[in-house]
Amino acid sequence: MALSREQIAQRVAQELQDGFYVNLGIGIPTLVANFIPKDIEVMLQSENGLLGMGAFPTEDEVDADLINAGKQTVTMAAGASIFDSAESFAMIRGGHVDLTVLGAFEVDVNGNIASYMIPGKLIKGMGGAMDLVAGADNIIVTMTHASKHGESKLLSNCTLPLTGKGCIKKVLTDLAFIEIKAGKFHLLERAPGVSVAEIIELTQGELVIEGDIPEMKFS
Amino acid sequence: MSGFDKVVHSYEEAMAGLTDNMTIIAGGFGLCGIPENLISEIKHKGTRGLTLVSNNCGVDDFGLGLLLPDRQISKIIASYVGENAEFERQMMSGELSVELTPQGTLAEKMRAGGAGIPAFYTATGVGTPVAEGKDERQFNGRDYILEEAIVGDFAIVKAWKADRYGNLVFRKTARNFNPMAATAGKITVVEVEEIVEPGQLDPDEIHTPGIYVNRLIQSSFEKRIEQRTTRAAGE
């Protein structure tokens, strides 16, 4: 079975480490916050100028001056700090954020990512995504493995305008956990019940399979 | 009082001197921390051919989106413009020119503009459409592109509190682009919720020193929320 959005978030959360500063993109990445293991401390960075993002507010706590990068009302966790946009992107560009999780339309074997524009259809802008992929060393891309029409999103070459070049090393899809190195995809794990053959079928770029590929584990 | 006193008493006075085809830098992220009354004044004034530099362009009936129906904006430099139907229409028809700019690059362009730095190198955008036509150079084996600073004829800023000298304090994430915008205007106009006397703000807590501010006006704000997201109490 392909993973649900929640299961993708849950698997990403297993990559979090105690003391990590983490930036979560909009969509599935945002859900990762719901699965942070109870025994570790993680601080969430929101690029509009908040480090230490808390839960959504109750109706009484709503504050128009306190939002996240998705423009949703939020709260601040204990130990939070507020800063301006230049400071926020100094953190991001300076490589101070330990893990960035973001969505994409396409990723290719050279670690290129396309996530912000579909010419003629979707031209909303890159927001902070280009800064995040250029600035972070440790990035996990979350997306579905293929489109609704069965077209692979893991390609030998991205076809859409790029968000970043040669910057992606890990991709978690609804079918597989994949590492990118030396110009190839490497299959690390498969979703429970999904066969290696199904993953090969839906991966257009070169995919290396070494030994037995374990299933993802969810506790 | 004069000298360092930056207070003006009408919006007309606040935006005096704004003429067609000028460049305006605006603070705000989404609808949070936007200079909403200064934007309304620009709409009221009817100034046209403007270049707007702002992270976003508001929504159809609030924020910078208010300047779209009368076609007051001819160009916008922004990182994300997705929340606005009229914006999309004008962009697709070519009436509005859009320069999509990565958010960190946009913040840095304003910061550099205000700090007298004409351009800077950044890794953001290398190998993407953003790099087209820009100088590229390697430092320590990595590729970077040259991005130019931005200075506005006007900067419009929303702060929380100020003293009469224009020392500013921002509140929570309504700070965002406002401090950089404040430095990058030839004329910087700030609207605030409260103005106090000099000496009443703790100097250690001032986010933007008054040297950057030319005009200051007190007003009230709607502070519209774009995505009201809540949890049940006790959850």
Rounded to two decimals, the ipTM of the complex is: 0.96
Q: Write down the pLDDT at residue A174.
A: 97
Quick check: A9 and A34 in contact, CB under 8 A? yes
pLDDT value of position B92: 85
A 48-77 residues with CB < 8 A to B: 48-50, 55-60, 62-68, 70-74, 76
Mean pLDDT, to the nearest integer, of A137-160? 96
- The model's confidence at residue A209, banded by pLDDT at 50, 70 and 90, is very high
Tally C-beta pairs within 8 A across A and B: 174
Contact A175, A142 (CB under 8 A): no
% of chain A with per-residue pLDDT over 90:
95
With 90 as the cut, is the pLDDT of residue A27 above it? Answer: no
- The model's pTM: 0.96
Shortest CB distance from A125 goes to which of B82, B177, B231?
B82
Contact residues, A window 105-134, toward B, CB-based 8 Å cutoff: 112, 117, 123-131, 134
pLDDT at residue A124 tops 90 = no
* Residue A95 pLDDT > 80: yes
**Active site members of A:** 47
DSSP for B104-169, please give it.
HHHHHHHHHHHTT--EEEESTTTTSGGGTTS-EEEETTEEEEEEE---EEEEEEE-SEEETT--EE
The span from the CA of A78 to the CA of A81, in Å, is: 9
Query: From A134, which residue of chain B is nearest by alpha-carbon distance?
Result: B124
In the stretch 25-84 of chain B, residues with CB closer than 8 A to chain A read 29-33, 55, 78-82
Segments of chain B with pLDDT less than 50: none
Q: Is the pLDDT of residue A212 over 90?
A: yes
Supply the mean pLDDT for chain A.
Answer: 96
The per-residue pLDDT for B83 is 73
pLDDT higher than 60, residue A62: yes
CA end-to-end span of chain A, whole Å? 17
Packing angle of the helix pair A85-93, B103-114 (nearest 10 deg):
120
Query: Which pLDDT does position B235 carry in this prediction?
Result: 64
pLDDT confidence of A120, banded at 50, 70, 90?
confident
